[in-house]
């Protein structure tokens, strides 16, 4: 049953498989040539949006031991500092996971703002970490525009996950927070 | 608390937290490893890429073709216009081709007359671009040849016309080319006709900056930019692009290479001539043997000529 993805029922492994396949496709997508280098605006971080979206809706489908390898693979293929973005996003997604009860009863805008605040935090931490590690930081404009495009993409990504793939918000009554940690 | 026979939710949560903390520490260690032993970490990364990307090629080809079709479709609208323009251009090109052939023949004749020997250490390998792994951090592409084809770090990559970037990271079947526009790309170039030597530094925009220009009056928009060969990074005289000025008055380079369609890259093999360590050495070697063996002199100078000639033609 599609609606049962990622709840603690039998569909949990289906949910995980869907999560892995979709994120793999997203990672691949970034490997295609998208026109001239230095294009403005840069592409949104769809992987971040997907992870937060799934973690909030069906945490069982995206346990951290799946999120880590997915992000690591992205780090490897997108030529980013190895492990840094993974470390940051796993941290942020765990925060989202522990506070997901907050989003269940709220309107979508709250979740959207929270997700973007998390992304901003992640970018900030990344910049600081890169300065501390004496690595070339990405230019401010690129970071800024990534933020904007990611913010715009978040509702679309949520629409994809909950509308097309069936990762809807569970009804508050059917959530068992103790078992759902993944 | 919880006995192993009856694991309570509380116990499961503890275990999970412990595991999570362990993974986070591992990740932190990975970041530090990447920073401290960067070359080895990058090698590791390339080994993974090397394993996966060639397998992905079959998958990538149809999707890449699909994206091309979409791009092409956008240009169908102007097909007629384009066709006419191409015909006109073709006419002009035919004339140019004729001229080029004549010049080539003349050049060969004159070189033969002068007994010129071109540096034998410049040749090309052509490769196909597999994936574009650019992002906010790196502007680079992966190509489908590597150390199996004798590719080495530091070779220049060109498309048909202009410089595209530099090989940085070689796997067995893949290699990574850092584009000119990447922030880590610094290339010594020369601006013609004034021949002023400048550094061209990428800043992740499409137009790399010209830095450390000594005399701004020497450079004008539209001037040709070529590699200077300084510092033995690249062979000299590879076409890079033309000078433009941005809105803040900063000189930049518009690359001649077409970065929108990087399908094939030509790697310029460069085997730099062995450096002459001290200025006096060439002479000193000839002088060092104090015996009056004069015939030794031409021999040493003959030895040094080829490397000189290649140095000049680099």
Percent of chain B as helix, strand, coil, to the nearest 5: 45, 20, 35
Q: In chain B, which residues have pLDDT < 70?
A: 1-7, 60, 64, 75, 116-122, 133-137, 270-314
* Selection from A72, A77, A121 nearest residue A95 by Cα: A121
Decide: residue B48, CB within 10 A, 0-12 exposed, 13-18 middle, 19+ buried: middle
How far, in Å, CA of B190 to CA of B274, rounded? 23
Question: Please, what is the Cα angle at B206 between B260 and B143, to 5 degrees?
Answer: 50
Least confident of A89-93, A139-143, B25-29, B111-115: B111-115
Query: How many angstroms separate the Cα of B223 from the Cα of each of A72, A161, B162, B234?
Result: 44, 52, 15, 20
- B-chain residues within 8 Å CB-CB of A134? 35
How far, in Å, CA of B221 to CA of B92, rounded? 26
pLDDT, greater one: B115 or A161? A161
Domain spans in chain B, listed from the N-terminal domain onward? 9-75, 83-118, 122-272
Confidence at residue B313, expressed as pLDDT on a 0 to 100 scale: 39
Contact B35, A133 (CB under 8 A): yes
Confidence at residue B285, expressed as pLDDT on a 0 to 100 scale: 55
Mean pLDDT, range A42-68, rounded to an integer: 91
Confidence at residue A124, expressed as pLDDT on a 0 to 100 scale: 94
| Residue A131: pLDDT over 70 | yes
Confidence at residue B137, expressed as pLDDT on a 0 to 100 scale: 64
Nearest CA distance, A168 vs chain B (angstrom): 25
Contact A67, A60 (CB under 8 A): no
Locus of tokens 């010129």:
B116
pLDDT, greater one: A82 or B137? A82
Is A38 part of any domain? yes
- B-chain residues within 8 Å CB-CB of A135? 35
Confidence at residue B121, expressed as pLDDT on a 0 to 100 scale: 59
Confidence at residue B238, expressed as pLDDT on a 0 to 100 scale: 86
Its CATH architecture, for the domain B122-272, is: Beta Barrel (2.40)
- A-chain residues within 8 Å CB-CB of B45? 76, 79, 82
Name the DSSP class of A168. P
Confidence at residue A70, expressed as pLDDT on a 0 to 100 scale: 95
Under 8 Å CB-to-CB from B270, ≥6 apart: which residues? Answer: B121, B122, B154, B155, B156, B234, B235, B314
Rounded to 5 degrees, φ, ψ at B165 are 175, -155
Q: What pLDDT digit, counting tens, does each position of B186-203 carry?
A: 899 999 888 889 999 988
How far, in Å, CA of A147 to CA of A153, rounded? 10
| Residue A67: pLDDT over 60 | yes
Confidence at residue B246, expressed as pLDDT on a 0 to 100 scale: 87
User: Does this complex have an ipTM over 0.90?
Assistant: no
- B-chain residues within 8 Å CB-CB of A94? 20
Which residue of B31, B45, B67 is the best one to mutate when testing the A interface, meaning the one whose CB has the most A CBs within 10 A?
A: B31
Q: Which residue range(s) make up the domain with A125?
A: 2-174
Name the DSSP class of A82. T
Rounded to 5 degrees, φ, ψ at B56 are -75, -15
Confidence at residue B136, expressed as pLDDT on a 0 to 100 scale: 61
Is A77 part of any domain? yes
How far, in Å, CA of B89 to CA of B98, rounded? 14
3-state SS class at B246? coil
Confidence at residue B2, expressed as pLDDT on a 0 to 100 scale: 43
Subunit contact A139:B181, Cβ cutoff 8 A: no
- Asked if A131 is an interface residue toward chain B (Cβ–Cβ < 8 A), one would say no
Instruction: Give the CATH number for residue A27.
Output: 1.10.1760
Q: What pLDDT digit, counting tens, does each position of A9-53 carry?
A: 457 888 999 999 999 988 887 776 554 455 566 788 899 999 999
- Looking at the structure of chain A, the number of domains it has is 1
Nearest CA distance, B31 vs chain A (angstrom): 5
Locus of tokens 């996003």:
A89
Mean pLDDT, range A65-89, rounded to an integer: 92
How far, in Å, CA of B177 to CA of B263, rounded? 13
């Amino acid at each position: 049953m599609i609606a049962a993805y990622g709840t603690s029922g039998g569909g949990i492994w289906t949910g995980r498989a869907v999560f892995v396949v979709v994120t793999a496709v997203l990672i691949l997508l970034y490997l295609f040539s998208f026109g001239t280098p230095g294009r403005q605006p840069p592409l949104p971080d769809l992987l971040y949006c997907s992870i937060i979206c799934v973690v909030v809706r069906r945490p069982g489908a995206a346990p951290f031991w799946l999120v880590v390898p997915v992000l690591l693979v992205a780090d490897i293929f997108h030529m980013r500092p190895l492990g840094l973005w993974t470390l940051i996003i796993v941290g942020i997604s765990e925060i989202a996971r522990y506070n997901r009860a907050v989003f269940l009863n709220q309107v979508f805008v709250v979740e959207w703002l929270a997700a973007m605040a998390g992304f901003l935090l992640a970018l900030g931490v990344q910049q600081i970490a890169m300065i501390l590690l004496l690595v070339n930081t990405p230019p401010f404009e690129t970071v800024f525009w990534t933020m904007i495009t990611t913010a715009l993409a978040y509702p679309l990504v949520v629409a994809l996950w909950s509308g097309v793939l069936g990762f809807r918000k569970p009804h508050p009554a059917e959530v068992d927070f103790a078992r759902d940690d993944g | 608390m919880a006995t192993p026979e009856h694991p309570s939710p509380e116990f499961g949560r503890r275990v999970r937290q412990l595991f999570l903390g362990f993974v986070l520490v591992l990740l932190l260690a990975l970041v530090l490893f990447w920073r401290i032993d960067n070359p080895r970490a990058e090698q590791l990364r390339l080994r993974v890429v090397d394993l996966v990307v060639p397998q992905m090629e079959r998958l990538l080809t149809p999707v890449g073709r699909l994206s091309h079709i979409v791009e092409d479709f956008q240009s169908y609208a102007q097909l007629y216009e384009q066709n006419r323009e191409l015909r006109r251009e073709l006419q002009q090109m035919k004339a140019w081709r004729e001229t080029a052939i004549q010049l080539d023949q003349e050049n060969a004749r004159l070189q033969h007359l002068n007994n010129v020997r071109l540096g034998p250490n410049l040749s090309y390998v052509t490769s196909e671009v597999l994936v574009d792994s650019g992002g906010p951090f790196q502007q680079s592409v992966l190509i489908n040849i590597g150390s199996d084809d004798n590719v080495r770090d530091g070779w220049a990559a060109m498309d048909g016309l202009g410089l595209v970037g530099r090989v940085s990271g070689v796997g067995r079947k893949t290699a990574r080319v850092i584009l000119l526009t990447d922030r880590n790309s610094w290339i010594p170039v020369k601006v013609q006709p004034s021949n002023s030597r400048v550094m061209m530094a990428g800043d992740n925009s499409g137009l790399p900056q010209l830095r450390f220009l000594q005399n701004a009056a020497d450079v004008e928009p539209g001037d040709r930019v070529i590699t200077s060969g300084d510092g033995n990074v690249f062979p000299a005289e590879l076409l890079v692009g033309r000078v433009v000025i941005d809105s803040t008055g900063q000189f930049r380079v518009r690359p001649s290479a077409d970065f929108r369609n990087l399908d094939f890259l030509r790697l310029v093999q460069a085997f730099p001539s062995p450096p002459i360590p001290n200025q006096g050495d060439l002479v000193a070697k000839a002088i060092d043997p104090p015996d009056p063996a004069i015939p030794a002199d031409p021999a040493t100078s003959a030895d040094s000529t080829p490397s000189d000639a290649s140095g000049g033609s680099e």
